[in-house]
Amino acid sequence: MQIGILYSRIRKDEKLLLGELRERGHEVAKIDVRKERFGLESTTADVADLDIVVDRCLSTSRSLYATKFLDSYGVPVVNSPETGDICADKAKNSLALARADIPTPATEVAFTKEAAMEAIEEFGYPCVLKPVVGSWGRLMAKIDTRNAAEAILEHKETLGHYEHKVFYIQEFVDKPGRDVRALAVDGEPVAAMTRSSDHWLTNAAKGGETKSFDLDDRALDLVERASEAVGGGMLGVDLMEVGGTDSGEYTVHEVNHTVEFKALDAASEVDVPAKVVDWLEAKAAAAADGEAAEAHT
């Protein structure tokens, strides 16, 4: 099978994936998005014959455009540009979750600091302000007082670029010092872990301590539905436990589309790259079947 990896930097995650693909004897085409040019009809790289391309771009804008172009050439690509579009933006992400009746933290978006201030005062303190585009816990603010709110909003409005002028305000969820990250492929869970920290941001990238976690039925159902809500693919679903670790109640705060899995692979007993490659093989085979069926009609 010929599998393309669209990347800008080969991190540990990509190494794990490449190692597993090569071990299974697949031909891998590494496509460096920084060197690539995408025309309206074709690309400079020889991607047309690839069975599937996996988008592993670090940069959201590159990821969104490159997958869109590949998709338009008829190359099977994961994740799809549609899924990327929703997951890359926290506002679209929240809307998709809410429309699918998935519990998600109360959220409002406002476009001026006055309107944002009104929302913040209504949520009360603490509440959370997030950039609509971003990851690894960057530029997130837990707002404890009105003074802090005013300062942050003024800084964002004055110094922030375009995306930071969309104020995404969220209720603060009193989670039990950890949150849950589940990796799923088309809704099927691969593995899950908790990320614990004394800090309110528990991201592994922020130093959150990771530990394997068994998803209960409720969490399994939410992961499956959250995946479907954003159009499926290989996704990292982030959940917070509401009302303590034994409550069995969750709220889903986001679904990630170019998901890292090295921390999960290290924390869990599951061979994460093997499961991901199983899924890629199945996806590529299904895409080939679909093409063959189309050729017959």
Ligand X SMILES: Nc1ncnc2c1ncn2[C@@H]1O[C@H](COP(=O)(O)OP(=O)(O)O)[C@@H](O)[C@H]1O
Contact residues for ligand X, defined by CB under 6 A:
105, 128, 130, 134-137, 140, 170-173, 175, 179, 200-203, 238, 253-254
Q: Least distance from C-beta 115 to ligand X, angstroms? A: 19
In the list ligand X, Mg ion, none, the entry touching 105 (Cβ below 5 to 8 angstroms by class) is: ligand X
Count CB-CB contacts under 10 A for residue 117.
17
Q: How far apart are CA 44 and CA 49, in angstroms?
A: 13
- The CB-of-4 to ligand X minimum distance in angstroms stands at 26
Closer to ligand X by CB, 22 or 199: give it. Answer: 199
From 89, 102, 264, 77, select the one nearest 183 (Cα to Cα).
264
Range 218-257, binding Mg ion (CB under 5 A)? 238
> What one-character-per-residue DSSP string does 63-127 give?
HHHHHHHHHHTT--EES-HHHHHHHT-HHHHHHHHHHTT-----EEEESSHHHHHHHHHHH-SSE
Rg (CA), the chain: 20
173 binds, among ligand X, Mg ion, none (CB under 5 to 8 A by kind): ligand X
Distance, CA of 229 to CA of 221 (rounded, Å):
12
Q: Which does 104 bind (CB under 5 to 8 A by kind): Mg ion, ligand X, none?
A: none
| Nearer residue to ligand X within complex by CB, 113 or 178 | 178
CB 37 within 8 A of CB 45: no
Which residue's CB is nearer to Mg ion, number 235 or number 277?
235
Residue (117 or 173) nearer to ligand X, CB: 173
Shortest distance, position 199 Cβ to ligand X, whole Å: 8
Task: Tell me how far apart the alpha carbons of residues 281 and 287 are, in angstroms, rounded to a whole number.
Answer: 10
CB of 36 to ligand X, least distance (A): 26
Q: CA 283, 56, 180, 134 torsion: positive or negative?
A: negative
Q: How far is CA 92 from CA 170, 192, 222, in A?
A: 14, 24, 18
The residue among 27 and 249 lying less far from ligand X, judged by its C-beta, is 249
Other CB atoms closer than 10 Å to residue 271's CB: what's the count? 15
Measured from the CB atom, the residue of 21 and 128 that comes closer to ligand X is 128
* Cβ 47 to ligand X shortest distance, Å: 29
Minimal CB distance to Mg ion: which residue?
A: 238
Q: Whole-number minimum distance, CB 237 to ligand X, in Å? A: 10
Residues near Mg ion (CB under 5 A) are: 238
